[in-house]
């Protein structure tokens, strides 16, 4: 038996911006075992939620993740709506679907860019992030923020979208199809990417099921798990779309799933917009007076997989228990199955292939004048500038 060495990656990960700690046990260049340590940034959100009212919790849970910040509140809200037996107005369901699909679009483009970056393929990074930007602006104009949309509330949504906004969403999403096709072709036909990603980090369908893999990680292995079709919520059962799966379970398959899902997202958004333009007006918010005692679960297909929330109410105005399970919690342990036997350079992209998401939203930067040491911007100033920018964007439309 050859000599066994431990290679540490982290806790300050050289590629991903968040704290995570991988220990690769290697013999020569071959990885024989992986150990993962997470939770360097545990913020105790489940505990915090027990001290917030039912209507305050969505603002907390959308900060669980900076990218899935539409999925987490929606899952929580569906759990609460299950307890209170709320009938959500149809228009609100369509509005929820639009924001969730815009989120999926920008998240998948973010991953494609980052995956290119991890492989040293910065052109992909530049292109993908360039086309992601209009989506972020659509979200900003429609909800008021690029991240943390604060869109959903128990009983419906907080803001309606005007016809102009809907038309703009339609136009921008349609314009995205051409570049997406170009990007998909460029990625899928590239011999270098084929050589780099095909048959790398294979997760078999059996392993995906045993480890409870979710989202594109499972669908890349041919396991058709998707909450949007398995347990339809919002307006997903009222629009026409296709569940994307690929066989193989390698990193390439996961990339294909994400790219093809972008087209489905555009398809869903366009159908929702068409429906809302045809049926203007209408309630967006059901009146919810109190949350009775009971327990409910809500799950939503976030870009990375199913996010699962459990809420228990005792009839007061606060949840007694709120459990949050983000998709990466199930996806990260699959490295035990997919990384063994790989060479060290292939592990980097395999680790990135599940799009692991820790939280990156808890930090801030301060720009300080080098000479006078005076801060150039404080928090209030940044908020004011961002509000000005949103106003300016709205006027342009």
Partner 1 sequence: MTMATQTDVPLTGEVGRIIEALGADVLALEQCQARRGIARINPGRVVEVARRMFEFDGARLATATGLDVRDGIDVLYHWIVEPRPAGEDPTKAGVVVTLKALARRPDMTLDSIANVIPAANWIEREMHDLLGANFRGHPDMRRLVLDDSWPEGIHPLRKGFDQVLDRPPLPPNQSPPDVPQSQEKQQ
Contact predicate 224/234, CB 8 Å? no
Out of 325, 344, 360, 386, point to the residue binding partner 1 (CB under 8 A). 325
Please tell me the distance from the alpha carbon of residue 134 to that of residue 369, in angstroms, as a whole number.
32
Q: What is the dihedral of CA 265, 63, 74, 52, to 10 degrees?
A: -170
**Mode of pairing for the β-strands spanning 294-302 and 305-313:** antiparallel
Compose the 138-177 pattern: x for residues touching partner 1 by CB under 8 A, - for all others. Answer: ----------------------------------------
CB of 384 to partner 1, least distance (A): 29
Q: Does 51 bind partner 1 (CB under 8 A)?
A: yes
Contact predicate 293/311, CB 8 Å? no
Q: Does 316 bind partner 1 (CB under 8 A)?
A: no
Contact predicate 335/349, CB 8 Å? no
Out of 175, 230, 314, 378, point to the residue binding partner 1 (CB under 8 A). 230
Nearer to partner 1, 114 or 225 (CB): 225
Q: Does 11 bind partner 1 (CB under 8 A)?
A: no
Please tell me the distance from the alpha carbon of residue 75 to that of residue 307, in angstroms, as a whole number.
7
* ω into 11 cis (within 30 of 0): yes
Q: Locate tokens 């704290």: which residue?
A: 19
User: Of the listed pieces 47-55, 153-161, 339-347, 378-386, which binds partner 1 according to CB under 8 A?
Assistant: 47-55
CB of 40 to partner 1, least distance (A): 9
CB of 136 to partner 1, least distance (A): 30
Q: 242: left (phi > 0), else alpha (psi -120 to 50), else beta?
A: beta
Please tell me the distance from the alpha carbon of residue 263 to that of residue 239, in angstroms, as a whole number.
14
- Binding residues with partner 1: total (CB under 8 A): 39
Please tell me the distance from the alpha carbon of residue 234 to that of residue 94, in angstroms, as a whole number.
7
Nearer to partner 1, 56 or 162 (CB): 56
Please tell me the distance from the alpha carbon of residue 120 to that of residue 122, in angstroms, as a whole number.
6
Please tell me the distance from the alpha carbon of residue 71 to that of residue 236, in angstroms, as a whole number.
14
3-state secondary structure of 148: coil
Nearer to partner 1, 131 or 211 (CB): 211
Q: Does 297 bind partner 1 (CB under 8 A)?
A: yes
- Each as own residue / partner, the long-range contacts of residues 362-365 (CB below 8 Å, 24 or more positions apart, any chain) are 362/41, 362/43
Out of 333, 360, 361, 386, point to the residue binding partner 1 (CB under 8 A). 333
Instruction: Please compute, for residue 339, the number of CA atoms within 13 A of its CA located in the half-sphere on the CB side.
Output: 29
Nearer to partner 1, 196 or 312 (CB): 312
Q: Does 358 bind partner 1 (CB under 8 A)?
A: no
Q: Token pair for residue 364?
A: 């801030």
DSSP state of 343: B
Nearer to partner 1, 106 or 309 (CB): 309
Per-residue CA distances from 25 to 22, 28, 347, 352, 372 (Å): 10, 10, 12, 18, 49
Q: Token pair for residue 193?
A: 């990417």
Out of 210, 277, 376, 388, point to the residue binding partner 1 (CB under 8 A). 210
Q: Does 75 bind partner 1 (CB under 8 A)?
A: no
CB of 211 to partner 1, least distance (A): 5
Nearer to partner 1, 190 or 231 (CB): 231
Out of 232, 238, 274, 390, point to the residue binding partner 1 (CB under 8 A). 232
User: Of the listed pieces 36-44, 59-67, 267-275, 345-353, which binds partner 1 according to CB under 8 A?
Assistant: 36-44
CB of 320 to partner 1, least distance (A): 8
Q: Locate tokens 């940044």: which residue?
A: 382
Q: Does 211 bind partner 1 (CB under 8 A)?
A: yes
Out of 131, 310, 335, 358, point to the residue binding partner 1 (CB under 8 A). 310
Write out the residues near partner 1 by the rule CB under 8 A: 37-39, 42, 44, 46-48, 51, 82, 209-212, 224-227, 229-232, 237, 243, 295-297, 299, 306, 308, 310, 312, 321, 323, 325, 329-330, 333, 336
């Amino acid at each position: 038996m050859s000599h066994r060495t431990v290679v540490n990656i982290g806790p300050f990960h050289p590629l991903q911006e968040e704290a995570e700690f991988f220990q690769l046990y290697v013999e020569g260049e071959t990885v024989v075992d992986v150990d993962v340590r997470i939770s360097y940034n545990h913020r105790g959100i489940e505990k915090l939620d027990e001290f917030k009212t039912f209507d305050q919790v969505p603002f907390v849970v959308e900060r669980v993740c900076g990218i899935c910040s539409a999925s987490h509140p929606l899952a929580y809200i569906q759990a609460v709506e299950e307890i209170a037996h709320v009938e959500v107005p149809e228009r609100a369901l369509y509005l929820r679907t639009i924001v969730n699909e815009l989120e999926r679009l920008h998240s998948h483009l973010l991953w494609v860019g980052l995956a290119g970056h991890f492989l040293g393929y910065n052109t992909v990074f530049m292109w993908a992030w360039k086309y992601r930007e209009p989506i972020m602006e659509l979200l900003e104009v429609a909800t008021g923020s690029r991240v943390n949309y604060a869109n959903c509330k128990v009983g419906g949504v907080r803001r309606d979208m005007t016809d102009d906004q809907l038309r703009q969403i339609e136009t921008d999403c349609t314009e995205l199809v051409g570049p997406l096709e170009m990007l998909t072709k460029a990625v899928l036909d590239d011999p270098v990417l084929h050589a780099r990603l095909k048959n790398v980090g294979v997760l078999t369908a059996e392993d995906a099921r045993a480890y409870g893999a979710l989202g594109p990680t499972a669908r890349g292995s041919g396991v058709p798990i998707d909450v949007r079709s398995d347990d339809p919520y919002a307006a997903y059962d009222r629009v026409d779309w296709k569940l994307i799966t690929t066989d193989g379970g390698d990193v390439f398959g996961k990339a294909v799933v994400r790219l093809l899902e972008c087209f489905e997202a555009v398809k869903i958004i366009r159908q929702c917009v068409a429906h809302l333009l045809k049926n203007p007006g209408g309630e967006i918010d059901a009146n919810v007076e109190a949350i009775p005692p009971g327990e409910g679960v809500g799950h939503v297909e976030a870009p990375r997989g199913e996010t699962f929330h459990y809420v228990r109410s005792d009839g007061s105005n606060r949840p007694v228990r709120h459990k949050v399970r983000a998709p990466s919690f199930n996806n990260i342990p699959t490295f035990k199955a997919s990384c063994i036997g790989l060479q060290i350079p292939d592990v980097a992209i395999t680790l990135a292939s599940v799009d692991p998401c820790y939280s990156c939203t808890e930090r801030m930067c301060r720009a300080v004048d080098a000479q006078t040491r005076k801060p150039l911007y404080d928090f209030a100033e940044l908020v004011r500038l961002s509000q000005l920018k949103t106003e300016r964007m709205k006027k342009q439309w």
